[in-house]
Amino acid sequence: MTLGILLPTRGRPENFERFVKTCWATAEDWHLYVRLDTDDVRAPEYDETLNVVTRSRVSVFHGDRVGFGASLNELAAHAEMQGVSHLGMFGDDVMPGTPGWDTMLVKALGEDLGIAYGDDGLRGKHEPDLPTHYVTQAEVYRRLGYLAPPTIRHLFLDNVARDVGRYLKNLVFVPVRIEHRHPWAEGEHLHDSTYAEGGRNADIRHADRMAYIRWTQDRDWKRRLR
């Protein structure tokens, strides 16, 4: 198994069903690692999808509500222990579209450590080299000890990935479609409590921004990647 797809999700069983179906239709060599919060009132609805999928392709973990970053790191630890060579950071508002996208991202990295990302459909709205969802080697996780810096709850993880890719001199754009169905693209009718607790929460945004700035100023992550 090559790619461990990491998917923290909350309150969005419909998005989860869509993501699983598109992975089955488009990905080639993958295993999906899912993180559900124990206090998510909609968690039982995920079973409607999980009960009809090949569970050899999906692992589900439950835990306290700790935020996207910590959930991502928890899934990365499980995937790394199971021997995947690459890890992918994804959200439940993403829909991969290009057949073989996972293999193409893995191959684009080559032998050098780095970050590979596709076209999220929003490159005209944010900086085009911002990897909102990406693939990296498990070795990057092993060296850093995380994919999300522990002080970041939700936001700026794409900035972290870009900084890591730039530092490693291997930040690769691959023309595969990995559509980010964000309110920016689809409209405000998609806005929900999950968005409200992330990018739309001023306190979290400020705290995560400051945590990201402090992370960039800390030389320890660069030392670990050498």
Average pLDDT (54-79) is: 94
Q: What angle do CA 98, 73, 203 make, to 5 degrees?
A: 95
Q: Give the pLDDT confidence score for residue 70 in this predicted structure.
A: 97
Supply the mean pLDDT for the chain.
Answer: 92
Q: Give the pLDDT confidence score for residue 53 in this predicted structure.
A: 80
**How does residue 108 score in pLDDT terms, banded at 50, 70 and 90?**
very high
For the whole prediction, is pTM greater than 0.85? yes
Q: How far, in Å, CA of 28 to CA of 23, rounded?
A: 8
* Position with higher pLDDT, 28 vs 199: 28
Q: How far, in Å, CA of 179 to CA of 192, rounded?
A: 19
Q: Give the pLDDT confidence score for residue 26 in this predicted structure.
A: 97
Quick: pLDDT tens for 112-142: 999 999 999 988 878 899 999 999 999 999 9
List domains and CATH numbers for the chain.
3-225 (3.90.550.10)
Contact 90, 80 (CB under 8 A): no
- Whether 188 shows a pLDDT value over 80: the answer reads no
Share of the chain above pLDDT 90, in %: 81
**How does residue 55 score in pLDDT terms, banded at 50, 70 and 90?**
confident
Q: Give the pLDDT confidence score for residue 201 in this predicted structure.
A: 79
Q: Give the pLDDT confidence score for residue 100 in this predicted structure.
A: 98
**How does residue 28 score in pLDDT terms, banded at 50, 70 and 90?**
very high
Q: How far, in Å, CA of 72 to CA of 74, rounded?
A: 5
* Position with higher pLDDT, 54 vs 146: 146
Residue 79: CB atoms within 10 Å: 24
